Every structure is written in structure tokens, then in C-alpha cells.
Structure 1
Amino acid sequence: MADYRVTVFNDLARNTNLNVHCQAAGIDPSTHSIPFLNDFSWTVNINTTAVLSCDMSWGIVKGHFDIFNAKRDATRCARNWCAWRVKQDGLYLFIEVHKRTDLHLPDMPLVYASDAFFKLTGNMYNVSYLPGSL
């Protein structure tokens, strides 16, 4: 069985909750409000769940991201664990081989932007967050 643990850690700011609503086959589609410096995890079986897709928000910032994609993440998430850290400037994935969290990966641009930015670009996935644009 190919189970992966997908964890989202809120590193936004004191008194700032991260609201996360994820959907995938076999995953409870409930919304989670993750307090600052806390996390939430899902168990994903890549044989039944190819993609775990999430809407995330805090304050006026909203975004949509495939937090787990079996084709993209099966090889880069160490020991079957995808550890994401959400900060004010974007979404970071811990890359074991680098021993750090990486923000800019060629196939994983930042995805947080305001609703107005999404409407302007017409794109709900491959958009870049521009600091100060919200």
C-alpha cells in the first residue's frame, strides 16, 4: 500500500488561522481552521487518490492548490511524507534532499492571490503571488 501523509503547517502570523478545505477520493471534505504554529495532516493512498486539492484562506487572501499530486510528489516527498509550511509569502514544501523548505520550484509556483488577481489572470493554478499585490 502506498500511503502518504500530507501535512500543512500554519506559519502565517500570531492570531492568524489558516482555513483549509481539501477534496479527494477517500478524503473527508471538511474544512479545518489551523491555528498559528499548528498543523493538520491527511493520509493519502496514491492507489485511490491521485490528487488532493485544497482551497486555503486567511484574512482576504484566498488560493487553490493541489497539495498532493501523485505524479509530482511521489518522488520528492521524503519517507512518504509531504510537509507544507504556509507563510505570508507563499507555500513551502520540505525537500529532504536539500534539508530545507523550498519556495520556488519549477513545477510548483506560488498560488496565493486575491480574488481580483485570479479574475485578472483568469488562472486558478499557475499564478504567482506578488508581495504587496493583495
Structure 2
Amino acid sequence: MECLVKVSSKINPTEDPEKVKKSLQNIFPKGKIKMESEYVLLSGERELLVHFKEVLENRKIRTVARSIMEKRIDGNKVKFYVSKQAALVNVINFSEDNSAPLEDIKIEIESENLEEVLKWLAPIEEILE
């Protein structure tokens, strides 16, 4: 199950670039960060998502995460946002529309088997009665 993961965040003039970098590293610690003047970029393959997956499991938000991701599928890609400020304190908080004043972290996952990637990343939990 191969996939390409791209993570990016704008660095606003009022932000400390190191804090923006730390926000991405808190959620994606295995990725190599590329700093540009206005953006922090990170890319990789499925391994990049391992910590993200663990946080979803630990916070028990896999079902919510999966629901948000499924709404954002476009062909063989899914694009969604998480709060940059929440990520700075090691929390994943999904953003509906990237409308935060300082913008959010954009995550894009592309795969020929996108459904399998999403099943692995955020399996739908059965509700036991």
C-alpha cells in the first residue's frame, strides 16, 4: 500500500518559523523538513503517517478523522487541514476549511489504493451494542 504524503504550512510574517516547523514535526516526526521563506514543507511515503495514525488511535478520533477525510477525497487524492496551533502542543484538531487567521497545516495523501490507505490510517470502528 504505497502513498505519497505532502504536508505544508504557510509561515506568516507574525509567526516564528521555528514554531511553525515544530508544529509539523510534532505530528510528523519522521519527515525531513524543508524550510522556505514563506512555507514549511514535508513529504514522504506511508511511514510519514505512522505517528499521525498513533495519535488518532490514542485520542480515539479515528472515526471522526475518517469521516473528514472521506469528504475530502478527489480521485486518488485526499486533502485536509489540521490546526497549526493545536499541533504546536502535540494535538491533532481537524479544521473544516482552513479558515484560521494564521492558516492551518495542509495534508495531502495520494495513492492508487487510497481507500486501503484510509482503512489503515483511520479504520472505521464498529459500535458494539
Q: Normalization by structure 1: what TM-score?
A: 0.33
Q: Normalization by structure 2: what TM-score?
A: 0.34
More helix by share: 2
More strand by share: 1
Q: Which has the higher contact order (CA 8 A, sep 6+)?
A: 2
